[in-house]
Structure 1
Amino acid sequence: MVTHAASLCAAFAYAEFAGMVPKAGSSYTYCAAVLGEIVGWIVGWDLLLEYTAIVAVVAIGMSGYLGFLLEAVGIHLPAWALGAPGTGAGHRIDLLAVAICLGVAWLLTRGTRTSARVETVLTVVKIAIVLLVIVVGFTKVDSGNLQPFAPFGLGGVAYDKLGVTGYGVAEAADAAAQHQGLPLAGSRVALQGFGAVGSAAAARFAELGATIVAVSTAHGVRYDPSGLDVGALLAARDEHGDHFVTRHPAGTALPFGAELTVDCDILVPAALQDVIDRGTAHEIKAKLIVEGANLPTSAEARSILAERGVTVLPDFVANAGGVVAAAFAMDARYSGFRPGTASIFESVSARLRANTATVLDEARQQDITPHAAGRRLAEDRVRAAMQSKGRLPRD
């Protein structure tokens, strides 16, 4: 009761005292200045109780880790020293937690300088642990097991395995090509990147009747103006990894970056950002660029391409298939049933095709680039939503 009353007084005192004194202080200072020494004395003891409880809780948690560490090196403590009464068979006292509390108390009595040195050592240890985790993550963790939201085994959606984003890129490209009067069937498509997005896009392009003339990885480009067999490319990648572009028998091997300027109708940069700059923009032969990667074109490059009559479909439209699929996963995260794959692909196709047409229509009507049109439409939608909820700032 006393602790509750003191905490309530402290809460009221913070706001009052903050407006009176330009210099911050502790809750004890606030209460003593606003409500008098008696309330300040109560709050002071309340803080001591809180700090004591917090240190005890942290020490108990750390003692568990320390106990596991000691056991790993062959040091076994007796059962009576492993926990407080009622926490386990034979437990009498959490000896490790007591030792940690005494160590903290000793450190505080040594003064600020010693505490600062210890804090520096602990900071170095924390940084070392973070670096160790990063190194282990890069060398030991299989990124293929990563699944946003719920894992596949718990009802989640396997985005990369399904190729949702790449599928959406191809669907958006088809809608953009139709908008330009360019039939996708028979069109020549060049893809930069043949990972989760690029390979899935290539498969969908092939289903829609397009001809894949170039694909690339970090190790180079495989180019064939008469068309590459997507199924054979996928099999070669499974066998050789990203090196398949240098070992696949079909077509010609080109250096990385050449896929951006080969003769094609549609170019899909689906690997890296900032790959199409001012210089590359003058050399591109495609009539339509569909951004499968995030930020693959610079603003200057887009201006040059617009002057040349090349349409650039923005990344936030073309590669939004994963976001649509994520909405299904979020909606079903408390359900025992996984979202149906067919409904996900249908929604990705419908939404991305509709957004593509909307953005390109706006760009044509306003005589601006699709990126500018897309941002303007997005801002208008967000503003309308904020206004409907009364969240717009008042003039």
Structure 2
Amino acid sequence: MITKESPKMGMYENVQHQFNKAADIINLSPAVRKILSITNTEIVVHFPVKLDNGTVQVFTGYRVQHNNALGPYKGGLRYHPTVDIDAARALATWMTWKTSLAGLPYGGGKGGIQIDPNLYSDAELERITRRFTFALGDNIGPEHDIPAPDVNTTPQTMAWIADTFMSTRSTNERTKYSHVVTGKPVGAGGLEGRDRATGFGVVVGIQEWANHNNYELSGKKYILQGFGNVGYWASHFMRAKGAVLVGVQDASGSIYNSDGIDPESLFEFTERNNKCVAGYPGASPYPQADFFSLDCDILIPAAMGNQITAGNAHSIKALLVAEGANGPVDSDGSEILESRGIAVIPDIYCNSGGVIASYFEWLQNRNGELWSLEEVMEKLEKKMKKSYETMQSIANKYNTDLRTAAYIGALQRIEQAYIQRGIFP
């Protein structure tokens, strides 16, 4: 079942384990290794907000900036009770690897607020977001650190952040700061197709793996953990490939239909059912704890981190795990899957469609351009395909798994930047 990310589960330790494995293989420069093994900056802010009932509550927000050797920090802001400094460190570090592997001129950052947004009204969430933005101050900026949507944050959240940030600048300079965030509504400078970019990228990754392994996706059965933005769009594009969705799990429950679940019908149901899949009439309830053991060909975990562990990795029947979420498989789970011959398309590649699209939006805003949906999807697919070729080539060269290959590709690019530039002073 969907479990919460927690420091006890060693999320940051998992990141470090993966990093050290790849660094050992390529004999990463000791100096670069020391730099990349820690974060650059860790920001914790406490800020008061007046709620609708007149009471004041103090919230805690985080922004961790891991590394900016390749460019400004880039990464999402999430609103979730599990947000803490450990999770932010891990997620920021993953963003550094993700942007490097994708060939983007970015580093990695991540953060958010420790909050359950379901407990607050829209008006309260707006005040919380604006106050958080003000508290962060100059720690974010369009050429310094560029947040984006993540778990429980939306284009509307980004619009509030952009407006607040621009409002603190002089009138004649405000238009220069519209790209302080990405993932904005299209009418507020957002990118056409940004909503589907991550899910689309997951499916491009699956198709590239299938092409490399002479594997036909049409008719294959898959299960999906998480039916938010990433999960829905992944299922939308998997349907176009002829794959059959047979199981879905979210925090409300698990559902199963061996004959197939229509993603569009399920989406319409969740829109009427508080974003929950439980109760969907086109499928039967299924025990939460047994979800990963469902009979299927492909598993797409697109919810929270550390979902596949030593406790359930042995029960997975899929031939392929495509990581739509950040860190859904912990180190123990990864070793078990590898020993069982189950392929894993790693998160720093598989779900990078979102940050690639964010880069496109950032460029669009900086250059005063407007890109069509067709242009965006074509550019995104091309970049995802190129990244896969890089990752697969490294895997072949070092005779290693795709995750380690992805890390090697990311680390080599950053190492090269330090070698060429030197280390100040």
TM-score of the two chains, using structure 2 as the length reference: 0.58
Distance 2:344 2:241 in 1: 20
Residue equivalent to 2:310: 278
One-letter amino acid matched to 2:218: A
2:351 to 302, 319, 328: 319
- Find the residue that maps to 1:278 and give its secondary structure: coil
Deviation at 1:173, TM superposition (A): 1.1
Deviation at 1:239, TM superposition (A): 1.7
Q: Is the 8 A contact 2:47 2:60 kept in 1?
A: no
Residue equivalent to 2:243: 210
Residue equivalent to 2:58: 130
Distance 2:415 2:422 in 1: 9
Distance 1:252 1:329, change over 3 A: same
Distance 1:251 1:154, change over 3 A: closer
Distance 1:386 1:182, change over 3 A: same
Equivalent residue runs for 1:106-255 within 5 Å: 130-131=58-59, 139-141=120-122, 143-144=153-154, 145-147=156-158, 148-149=181-182, 151-157=185-191, 162-243=195-276, 245-255=277-287
Distance 1:359 1:195 in 2: 27
Equivalent residue runs for 1:1-395 within 5 Å: 130-131=58-59, 139-141=120-122, 143-144=153-154, 145-147=156-158, 148-149=181-182, 151-157=185-191, 162-243=195-276, 245-388=277-420, 390-391=421-422
Which stretch of structure 1 is more off in the superposition, 250-259 or 377-386? 250-259
Deviation at 1:356, TM superposition (A): 2.3
Deviation at 1:281, TM superposition (A): 1.1
Of all paired residues, the percent bearing the same amino acid is: 29
Structure of greater relative contact order (alpha carbons < 8 Å, 6+ residues apart): 2
Distance 1:362 1:309 in 2: 19
One-letter amino acid matched to 2:191: V
Counting matched residue pairs gives 269
- Find the residue that maps to 1:131 and give its secondary structure: strand
Which stretch of structure 1 is more off in the superposition, 265-274 or 149-158? 149-158
Deviation at 1:124, TM superposition (A): 10
One-letter amino acid matched to 1:324: I
- Cα deviation, 1:46-96, whole Å, max 9, x if unaligned, reads xxxxxxxxxxxxxxxxxxxxxxxxxxxxxxxxxxxxxxxxxxxxxxxxxxx
Distance 1:236 1:126 in 2: 34
Distance 1:279 1:337, change over 3 A: same
Structure 1: which 5+ runs fail to align? 1-122
Deviation at 1:382, TM superposition (A): 1.6
One-letter amino acid matched to 1:156: G
Distance 1:241 1:380 in 2: 44
One-letter amino acid matched to 2:59: L
- Cα deviation, 1:201-258, whole Å, max 9, x if unaligned, reads 0000001111111112111112112211122111111221333x33222232113343
Distance 1:191 1:364 in 2: 29
TM-score of the two chains, using structure 1 as the length reference: 0.62
Which stretch of structure 1 is more off in the superposition, 367-376 or 301-310? 367-376
One-letter amino acid matched to 2:383: R
- Find the residue that maps to 1:213 and give its secondary structure: strand
Q: Is the 8 A contact 2:394 2:408 kept in 1?
A: no
Structure 2: which 5+ runs fail to align? 1-45, 51-55, 62-112, 126-152, 159-180
One-letter amino acid matched to 2:274: G
Q: Is the 8 A contact 1:155 1:337 kept in 2?
A: no
Distance 1:327 1:369 in 2: 28
